[in-house]
Amino acid sequence: MDAIDRAIIDLLRQNARAPFGELGSRVGLSASAVKRRVDRLTAAGVIRAFTVQVDPRLEGLGTEAYIELFCRGTVAPADLRRILSAEPAVVYAATVTGDADALVHIRSRDIESLEEALERVRSAPSVDHTRSAIVLSRLVNRDAG
Amino acid sequence: MDAIDRAIIDLLRQNARAPFGELGSRVGLSASAVKRRVDRLTAAGVIRAFTVQVDPRLEGLGTEAYIELFCRGTVAPADLRRILSAEPAVVYAATVTGDADALVHIRSRDIESLEEALERVRSAPSVDHTRSAIVLSRLVNRDAG
DNA sequence: CGTGAAACTGGAGTCGT
DNA sequence: ACGACTCCAGTTTCACG
């Protein structure tokens, strides 16, 4: 992971389909040298995957919310993972410092389906209560989505 | 946006470099038909970009936090956007329902740089106070990152 | 770890249906 | 709209510095 690797990753983030030759001309290497670095970064897991960024609104997932999860007593992270993985609307979840046990990011079609997803999460026996913040408008979105 | 478009997008999400021919064989179309659909989805903005998913830890951004932002009086979303865009550690921010004015997702190298970023956000005159939740462990991460 | 050139594969555009 | 075809750019692999 040197400066050239970082430069290549930055360029790939902007356009994962950029030809190796063009990447090479920008970082001062030949196409095959760039390919070898990209292969190495992919094998090492630094580059996890080549994906597409989809506009959630146009895909029919325009409604999102962040939910703080409060559990009864002590719940193992593994249990939380099991509960939250079962709900397809859950895009992201993590245990956090502070009052809440976990922070959950939910995405769905509309408010109704958001409420349904929330209700399914709340119905888990270890979940005591939740506190929701529905997203009104996005201000910043650096990795997009 | 029909079922085939959705299937193509799902496949591209898993591997954005999959050849059109292979996508076609999976959804039951020819390579050129798939290309036309992908071109159309890209032009329409449904597919925003072709990118790479990078492991934040291996890239040196292993520390993240979610911050609730509380402002003095009423602050226009445009002002919040300006303030938060200025801070590179801010990955995502949105205005939300509930007590807080905005929810901010921050990513940085370590706790020290996280604190520095937080301090810069708090120093904005319209910001009254913040409430932070540092991420301990990720439980679910469907679009990864 | 780098380059350059060979062989090959997938992409872009244009047909015809 | 889809499929088939051609041409070329880009990828891939290899021998070599």
SS3 A44: helix
Residues in chain A: 145
Q: A66's torsion region: left (phi>0), alpha (psi -120 to 50) or beta? A: beta
Q: Report the percent of chain A where pLDDT is more than 90.
A: 91
Confidence of residue B57 (pLDDT cuts 50, 70, 90): confident
Which of A141, A36, A95, A131 has its CA nearest to residue B51? Answer: A141
Residue B63 in contact with residue A97, Cβ under 8 Å?
Answer: no
**What does the pLDDT read at residue B108?**
95
For chain B, how far is it from start to end, CA to CA, in angstroms? 26
- Give the Cα separation of A78 and A82 in Å (integer): 6
Confidence of residue A1 (pLDDT cuts 50, 70, 90): confident
pLDDT in tens, A93-129: 999 999 999 999 999 999 999 999 999 999 999 999 9
pLDDT, average across residues A13-24:
96
Cβ of A54 and B47 within 8 Å? yes
- Give the count of beta carbons closer than 10 Å to the beta carbon of residue B111: 11
Q: Where are the domains of chain A?
A: 3-43, 56-134
- Give the Cα separation of A97 and A103 in Å (integer): 10
Whether B11 sits with its Cβ under 7 A from any strand C atom: the answer reads: no
Chain-centroid distance, C-alpha A50:
14
Whether B9 sits with its Cβ under 7 A from any strand D atom: the answer reads: no
pLDDT, average across residues B67-94:
95
Q: Is the pLDDT of residue B93 over 90?
A: yes
Cβ of B93 and A131 within 8 Å? no
Q: Is the pLDDT of residue A145 over 80?
A: no
Strand C nucleotides with an atom less than 7 Å from a protein beta carbon: 1-5, 9-14
**What does the pLDDT read at residue A144?**
63
Q: Report the percent of chain B where pLDDT is more than 70.
A: 99
**What does the pLDDT read at residue B59?**
83
Q: Is the pLDDT of residue A143 over 80?
A: no
Å separating the CA of residue B30 from the C1' of nucleotide D4: 10
Buried b (16+ CB within 10 A) or exposed e, A18-33: bebeebbeebebeeee
Confidence of residue A136 (pLDDT cuts 50, 70, 90): very high
- Give the Cα separation of B138 and B55 in Å (integer): 13
Whether A32 sits with its Cβ under 7 A from any strand D atom: the answer reads: yes
Contacts of B6 in chain A (CB under 8 A): 59
Q: Is the pLDDT of residue B58 over 90?
A: no
Confidence of residue B88 (pLDDT cuts 50, 70, 90): very high
The domain at B3-43 falls in which architecture? Orthogonal Bundle (1.10)
Whether A29 sits with its Cβ under 7 A from any strand C atom: the answer reads: yes
**What does the pLDDT read at residue B5?**
97
Domain B56-134 has CATH 3.30.70.920: yes
pTM: 0.89
Confidence of residue A142 (pLDDT cuts 50, 70, 90): confident
Strand D nucleotides with an atom less than 7 Å from a protein beta carbon: 1-5, 9-14
Q: Do A3-43 and A56-134 show the same overall fold? A: no
Q: Is the pLDDT of residue B144 over 80?
A: no
